[in-house]
């Protein structure tokens, strides 16, 4: 990792490890592709022979046999690429899929804000998941294409050299120079590409926000104004995209033109030395194929830049790789891809019965949480109250590891917890956020979230959360599809579903952030009653009188 060579080819090494995930598909397909690159050599050589024979002995001799060989070669090439590309695409798609799952996994890992950087908006993450894996895997494609073409070029030089060394040099020599010159043009391409990507993200990000908030936009009658902003962002994206695409074309066209120039030069030299029509055909055909060499080199340069841009965008979504641990982007995992069987099941730590939870000098700078001292004994209800912006939510989120602490510590049965995000998960703790999220799955899947929870336990949790009457009223019961983000449930139902989801884990500690804000007083009362009767230890943020009246301890934040 420390040698200069390893640093230069860092991206290639990562991607080699990645494609090894379904390596058989990838490499078989790539081998087919490499052969495909060399086939024009055979067909070009045959074309030369066909014309040479036509000129020297007309349609007699073996002319028709040679022409038949040419037809066979063309058809064999067509069949080869057909098989190779399907095989290759399976390998590539699997590799891209692995990157997507690895990235989501890192984002969803119980690491929270500290372990995985989370400052990227969802819309932006989606754009990255959609586009960037392609540009990353494509890094290796550039190499495969280049290698294929270099084999072809070596063959071409060998064949043409035998016919006429000077004409060969006239065609090949300058092309090498052009390829090297391309190296320097890549920098601009990279800058334009990054800019295009950024403005594309801005559009997606804004669209995601606007569509998520479509109700707000509609009620405020702000469609027109929102669309005007969208147009501004659209225009900016169009400008950067046009620059990106046009510049790309400039690169490729300049190369083609240069190559044509040198083919012309080679032909003049060749003609001066008395080549026949068949040989001229061979020169024109084979050298035209070599046109792609400088283009491929510049493609590789551009591709390596694109890899860097995309890898930079993806890597911020993942935790920093540890020296001893595998690269989180390319780590191989069990996936249901191409016969891989079902994906990994959730891992559940061992239960550590809670006696006492203590907060010592807990401080989250800038969020109003300053030197908080609090003790929660087993079976207690402790309520955090305070005005808007006092830091109730921040305190709870910091306890469960969704926010880093600037100072202080959280102790479980007297022992400080180093990695709170990893520790405060079921069965130790379950957290219900202020605006809980539900998913477009069945109600049962929403409540279990992959954990092994029996039907009876689930029914108990639903009853505890005062959600049983609602569920009984659903025609499909627990099988009810609750729609995107649970929109088929009312606000109160969604909160009770989220509470049931947490209770189903039978956690040692329940952390509830303003759970009852959408519940009426009666439902709220029933909820606290049942939680107390079931002996739960609860840390809750609330200003509601019912909660404050019940609490064993109230922590007032200012």
Partner 1 sequence: MTASSPNRLLASLLRPHRRSVAAYAAALAVATALPLAGALLLARFARLAAEGSTLGPLAATGAAFALTGLGSSATTVLVTWRGTVLAWQITNGLRHDLADYVLRADLAFHRDRTPGELVTRVDGDINLMTQFLATVVAQVLAIAVLAAGTVAVAGVAEPALLPGVAAGIALLGTVTWLVRNVSVTETVIERAAEAAAMSEAEQYLAGADDVATLGAGAFGSARLADRVADMVIATRERTRAQMRMQGDIRIAVAGALVGVVAYGAFAFSRGWVDVAAVLFGFRLVQLVADKIDHLSWRLTEVQGASGAAQRVAELVGEQRLVAAGTGTLPPGPLAVRFDGVGLVYDDDEGNNAALHPLDLTLEPGRLVGVIGRTGSGKTSLARLLLRLVSPTGGQVLVGGMDLAGVSDDDLRRRITAVPQDVQLFPGTVRDNVSLFRPASDDELMAALDDVGLAPWLQGLPDGLDTRLAADDRDDDGARVGLSAGQAQLLALARALLRQPDVVVLDEATSRIDPATQAAIGAAVARLVAGRTAIVIAHRLATLDACDDIVVLANGRIVEQGPRSALAADPASRYSRLRAMGEGIADQAAEESELLA
Site for partner 1 in 293-332 (CB under 8 A): none
Distance, in Å, from the CA atom of 149 to the CA atom of 255, rounded to the nearest integer, reads: 15
Stretch that binds partner 1, among 161-169, 191-199, 200-208, 300-308 (CB under 8 A): 200-208
Q: Which is nearer to partner 1, 169 or 241 (CB)?
A: 241
Among positions 20, 23, 264, 321, the unique one binding partner 1 when judged by CB under 8 A: 264
Could you tell me where the DSSP H helices lie in 20-121? 23-57, 63-108, 112-115
- 450 belongs to the binding site for partner 1 (CB under 8 A): yes
Contact 524, 383 (CB under 8 A): no
Contact 227, 257 (CB under 8 A): no
Distance, in Å, from the CA atom of 91 to the CA atom of 80, rounded to the nearest integer, reads: 17
Binding mask 345-384 for partner 1 (x = CB under 8 A): xxxxx--------------x--x-----------------
**Beta strands 356-364 and 369-377, pairing class:** antiparallel
Stretch that binds partner 1, among 2-10, 55-63, 153-161, 530-538 (CB under 8 A): 55-63
Q: Which is nearer to partner 1, 18 or 284 (CB)?
A: 284
Stretch that binds partner 1, among 297-305, 372-380, 421-429, 530-538 (CB under 8 A): 421-429
Stretch that binds partner 1, among 189-197, 295-303, 304-312, 385-393 (CB under 8 A): 385-393
Binding mask 117-146 for partner 1 (x = CB under 8 A): -xx-xxx-xxx-xx----------------
Three-class SS string for 202-255? Answer: HHHHHHHHHHHCHHHHHHCCCHHHHHHHHHHHHHHHHHHHHHHHHHHHHHHHHH
- 205 belongs to the binding site for partner 1 (CB under 8 A): yes
Query: For residues 220-249, which are near partner 1 according to CB under 8 A?
Result: 220-223, 225-231, 234-235, 237-238, 241-242, 245-246, 249
Minimum CB–partner distance for residue 242 and partner 1 (Å) = 5
Sheet holding 369-377, edge to edge: 369-377, 356-364, 407-412, 415-416
Query: For residues 455-484, which are near partner 1 according to CB under 8 A?
Result: 475-476, 483-484
- 204 belongs to the binding site for partner 1 (CB under 8 A): yes
Tokens, residue 127: 């754009």
Stretch that binds partner 1, among 188-196, 295-303, 395-403, 409-417 (CB under 8 A): 395-403
Among positions 15, 140, 299, 433, the unique one binding partner 1 when judged by CB under 8 A: 433
- 438 belongs to the binding site for partner 1 (CB under 8 A): yes
Minimum CB–partner distance for residue 222 and partner 1 (Å) = 4
Minimum CB–partner distance for residue 40 and partner 1 (Å) = 11
Minimum CB–partner distance for residue 187 and partner 1 (Å) = 19
Q: Which is nearer to partner 1, 460 or 470 (CB)?
A: 470
Distance, in Å, from the CA atom of 38 to the CA atom of 166, rounded to the nearest integer, reads: 23
State the greatest distance between any 2 C-alpha atoms of the chain, in Å, as a whole number: 109
Query: For residues 63-102, which are near partner 1 according to CB under 8 A?
Result: 63, 67, 70-71, 74-75, 77-79, 81-82, 85-86, 89-90, 93-94, 97-98, 100-101
Tokens, residue 172: 């090949």
CA R_g for the chain? 33
- 113 belongs to the binding site for partner 1 (CB under 8 A): yes
Distance, in Å, from the CA atom of 308 to the CA atom of 404, rounded to the nearest integer, reads: 30
Q: Which is nearer to partner 1, 35 or 209 (CB)?
A: 209
Distance, in Å, from the CA atom of 26 to the CA atom of 144, rounded to the nearest integer, reads: 11
Stretch that binds partner 1, among 182-190, 205-213, 302-310, 452-460 (CB under 8 A): 205-213
**Beta strands 356-364 and 407-412, pairing class:** antiparallel
| Residue 60, burial from CB neighbour count under 10 angstroms (0-12, 13-18, 19+) | exposed
Is 437 in a helix, a strand, or coil?
coil
Dihedrals phi, psi of 509, to nearest 5 degrees: -135, 130
Among positions 181, 374, 463, 518, the unique one binding partner 1 when judged by CB under 8 A: 518
Q: Which is nearer to partner 1, 456 or 520 (CB)?
A: 520
Size of the site for partner 1 (CB under 8 A): 188
Q: Which is nearer to partner 1, 6 or 487 (CB)?
A: 487
Distance, in Å, from the CA atom of 215 to the CA atom of 440, rounded to the nearest integer, reads: 19
Distance, in Å, from the CA atom of 20 to the CA atom of 255, rounded to the nearest integer, reads: 34
């Amino acid at each position: 990792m420390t040698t200069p060579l390893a640093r230069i080819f860092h991206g290639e090494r990562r991607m080699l490890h990645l494609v090894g995930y379904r390596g058989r598909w990838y490499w078989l397909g790539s081998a087919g592709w490499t052969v495909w690159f060399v086939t024009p050599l055979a067909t070009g050589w045959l074309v030369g022979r066909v014309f040479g024979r036509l000129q020297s002995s007309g349609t007699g001799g073996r002319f028709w046999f040679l022409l038949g060989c040419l037809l066979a070669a063309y058809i064999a090439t067509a069949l080869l690429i057909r098989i190779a590309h399907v095989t290759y695409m399976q390998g590539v798609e699997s590799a891209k899929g692995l990157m997507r799952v690895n990235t989501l996994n890192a984002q969803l890992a119980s690491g929270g804000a500290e372990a995985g950087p989370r400052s990227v908006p969802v819309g932006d993450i989606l754009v990255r998941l959609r586009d960037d894996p392609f540009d990353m895997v494509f890094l290796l494609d550039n190499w495969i294409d280049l290698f294929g073409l270099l084999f072809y070029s070596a063959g071409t030089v060998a064949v043409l050299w035998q016919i006429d060394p000077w004409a060969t040099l006239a065609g090949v020599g300058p092309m090498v120079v052009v390829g090297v010159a391309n190296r320097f043009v890549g920098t601009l391409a990279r800058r334009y590409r990054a800019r295009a990507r950024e403005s594309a993200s801005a559009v997606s990000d804004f669209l995601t926000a606007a569509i998520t908030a479509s109700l707000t936009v509609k009620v405020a009658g702000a469609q027109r104004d929102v669309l005007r902003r969208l147009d501004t962002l659209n225009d900016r994206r169009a400008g950067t995209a046009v620059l990106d695409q046009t510049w790309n074309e400039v690169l490729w066209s300049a190369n083609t033109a240069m190559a044509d120039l040198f083919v012309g030069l080679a032909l003049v030299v060749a003609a001066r030395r008395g080549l026949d029509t068949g040989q001229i055909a061979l020169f024109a055909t084979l050298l035209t194929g070599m046109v792609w060499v400088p283009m491929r080199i510049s493609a590789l340069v551009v591709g390596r830049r694109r890899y860097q841009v995309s890898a930079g965008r993806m890597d911020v979504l993942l935790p920093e790789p540890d020296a001893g641990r595998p690269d989180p982007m390319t780590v191989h995992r069990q996936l249901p891809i191409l016969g891989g069987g079902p994906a990994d099941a959730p891992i559940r730590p061992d239960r550590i019965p809670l006696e006492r939870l203590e907060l010592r000098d807990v401080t989250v700078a800038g969020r109003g949480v300053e030197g908080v001292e609090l003790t929660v004994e087993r079976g207690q209800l402790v309520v955090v109250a305070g005005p808007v912006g006092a830091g109730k939510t921040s305190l709870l989120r910091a306890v469960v590891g969704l926010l880093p602490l600037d100072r202080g510590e959280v102790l479980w049965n007297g022992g400080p917890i180093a990695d709170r995000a990893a520790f405060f998960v079921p069965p130790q703790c379950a957290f219900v956020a202020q605006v809980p999220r539900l998913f477009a799955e069945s109600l049962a899947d929403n409540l279990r979230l992959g954990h092994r929870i029996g039907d009876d336990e689930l029914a108990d949790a639903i009853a505890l959360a005062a959600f049983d009457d609602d569920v009984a009223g659903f025609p499909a019961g627990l099988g009810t599809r609750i729609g995107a983000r649970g929109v088929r449930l009312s606000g109160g139902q969604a909160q009770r579903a989220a509470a049931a989801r947490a209770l189903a884990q039978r956690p040692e500690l329940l952390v509830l952030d303003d759970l009852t804000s959408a519940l009426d007083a009666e439902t709220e009362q029933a909820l606290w009653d049942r939680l107390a009767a079931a002996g739960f230890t609860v840390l809750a943020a609330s200003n509601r009188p019912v909660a404050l009246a019940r609490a064993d301890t109230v922590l007032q934040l200012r």
